[in-house]
Amino acid sequence: MTHRIGLVVPSSNVTVETEIPALLSRHAGSFSFHSSRMRMHTVSPEELAAMNAQRERCIDELGDARVDAVLYACLVAIMAQGPGEHRRVETAVREQLPDAQVLSSAGALVDALTVLRAGRVALVTPYVRPLARQVVGYLEAEGFDVVDWAALEVDDNAEVGCIPGERVMEAARGLDLTGADALVLSACVQMPSLALVDDAEREFGLPVLSAATAGAHSLLTGLGLDPVLPRAGSLLARSR
């Protein structure tokens, strides 16, 4: 059986459609991937709100493909709207697409940190500082203690997809990880980090995850599949 995965992505995103398939290709299951795009170039409150307004069209398109699961794959677009927004978005999408598993990158990250029992976390984000603070505040409203965070101050979403891995690792090395239970190496589905996760776990000595690994975990669990993938960090290392 092939599971059809629907991805709702910003038009300028080029990473989620590579990292999610790369992750799920390591699973014994069979998957196909089907995307619908929302216009967005600059990661700003105005463009994020305008992008979210395109959601219903995207869900209708994916519904036509009869997807088994859909991932609303823009973490900051949801978190910038205020605490608890991922629940409201997921509920609205379920009403529109009742026969599919409905997930969001924002909700997937919250769920993944809960699975890891990571009450104290550190973050690397590509966002400008005001948006990064909203992400921090969102996680704090969910009950997590953000011990330290970095904002790389990139607002062009196409450029976010080109941030080199060494810059991401340098930002992580600059964090105070004292007392942290986990490190979110990329709190954004557009900032590439999949190739870094395993090495980062060895270097920092704590669980490392990303928006992409959290999304893959949520997709697999939502479909009732074992969420175990090699070379993808502690979150996906074993059955729970």
Tokens of 141: 């409203």
The whole model's pTM is what? 0.96
Look up 188 and say whether it is catalytic. Answer: yes
Residue in 79, 112, 185, 188 annotated catalytic: 188
Q: What is the pLDDT of residue 152?
A: 98
With CA atoms as reference, report the closest residue to 184 among 155, 159, 222, 151. Answer: 151
74 is catalytic: yes
Phi, psi of 89, rounded to the nearest 5 degrees? -65, -45
Q: State the catalytic residue, choosing from 59, 74, 112, 160.
A: 74
**In tens digits, what is the pLDDT along the chain, a chain of 240 residues?**
899 999 999 999 999 999 999 999 999 999 999 999 999 888 898 898 888 899 999 999 999 999 999 999 999 999 999 999 999 999 999 999 999 999 999 999 999 999 999 999 999 999 999 999 999 999 999 999 999 999 999 999 999 999 999 999 999 999 999 999 999 999 999 999 999 999 999 999 999 999 999 999 999 999 999 999 999 999 999 876
